[in-house]
Structure 1
Amino acid sequence: MLRNFTSALVATALLGTAATAQAAMPTDATLYKNPDCTCCDEYARLLEIRGIQVTIVDDANMAEIKQQARLPYGLGSCHTMKIGNYHVEGHVPYDAIAELFKQQPAIHGITLPGMPQGSPGMPGPQRSPFEIQQFTDQQAEPFMTL
């Protein structure tokens, strides 16, 4: 009897932790992009499949958006997304975004610079590991590799 009670407590604790981590992930985001960029639309569609409702803003002043995000020079991409209290620059895989909200570090955001082949929304196979950077006040350091 005690064993079943202990097992139930452990299971409840594990489920509670998973629910709390899941609750930290926002269900909506705003993606700023050039209206001619179709890979950004595909990226938004892939996030929506994962449960994030993405509002797309075309014709945004991208230089101003990137400056507001405090993105370091040279680490930009074709779009910038605001999700929760963070900025996500470029074709960052969902797993990196989930890890960002799991950790909730005191940073401005994460970026996958450029438009790497095989990244979410970009055609072709992945050719090399995705080196995702975290940034704060225009300074970057590694966040994770996928």
Structure 2
Amino acid sequence: MVVHKDPNCGCCGGWAEHVQAAGFPVQLNDTSDMMAVKQRLGIGDGMMSCHTSEIDGYVVEGHVPVEDIKRLLAERPQARGLVLPGMPVGTPGMESPDGYRQAFTVALLGNDGSLSEFSKHE
């Protein structure tokens, strides 16, 4: 997995550690031009988070939990990848010291740019 991130972002490293702990090899790519990466991979307005990853032909935008990435790779849907916009508290890399967690939904990014629900996390 290649993780494109801003060199000044700390939460991206936390997410990369989450993915590495699950057995995925991770290559960190520090870049100050994240918009170019997102544009190249088809991540549009309203879909963006702080980091963008590429794995096995798919894009993974944001703090997507590793179980969703494993499901994506197992099911291999015809899609660009997974998107978790923003930086919801309690997601991997965005853990709260008090254990608080926001509910969030990971979306499947279709080849046509459409989004559909992939998984809900309460």
Amino acid corresponding to residue 72 of structure 1 in structure 2 = G
Task: Report the equivalent of 1:98.
Answer: 70
User: Quick one: distance in 2 between partners of 1:127 and 1:41?
Assistant: 19
Q: Structure 1: which 5+ residue stretches go unaligned? A: 1-28
Higher percent of residues as helix: 1
Query: Structure 1's 72 and 138: CA in aligned 2 closer, same or farther, altered over 3 A?
Result: farther
**Superposition pairs for residues 1-146 of structure 1, below 5 Å?**
29-124=1-96, 125-136=99-110, 137-146=112-121
- Are the aligned partners of 1:48 and 1:54 in contact in 2 as well (CA < 8 Å)? yes
Percentage of matched positions with identical amino acids: 36
Provide the aligned C-alpha RMSD in A.
1.3
User: Quick one: distance in 1 between partners of 2:73 and 2:120?
Assistant: 16
User: Quick one: distance in 1 between partners of 2:100 and 2:18?
Assistant: 16
User: Quick one: distance in 1 between partners of 2:32 and 2:72?
Assistant: 25
- Are the aligned partners of 1:72 and 1:135 in contact in 2 as well (CA < 8 Å)? no
User: Quick one: distance in 1 between partners of 2:80 and 2:42?
Assistant: 7
Amino acid corresponding to residue 93 of structure 1 in structure 2 = P
Q: Structure 2: which 5+ residue stretches go unaligned? A: none
**How many corresponding residue pairs?**
118
SS in 2 for 1:48: helix
User: Quick one: distance in 1 between partners of 2:120 and 2:47?
Assistant: 15
Report the structure number with the largest CA radius of gyration. 1
TM-score (structure 2 length as normaliser): 0.90
For each residue in 1:11-50, what CA deviation from the matched residue of structure 2 results, as whole angstroms up to 9, or x when unmatched?
xxxxxxxxxxxxxxxxxx0000100001101111111111
- Are the aligned partners of 2:62 and 2:84 in contact in 1 as well (CA < 8 Å)? yes
Amino acid corresponding to residue 78 of structure 1 in structure 2 = C
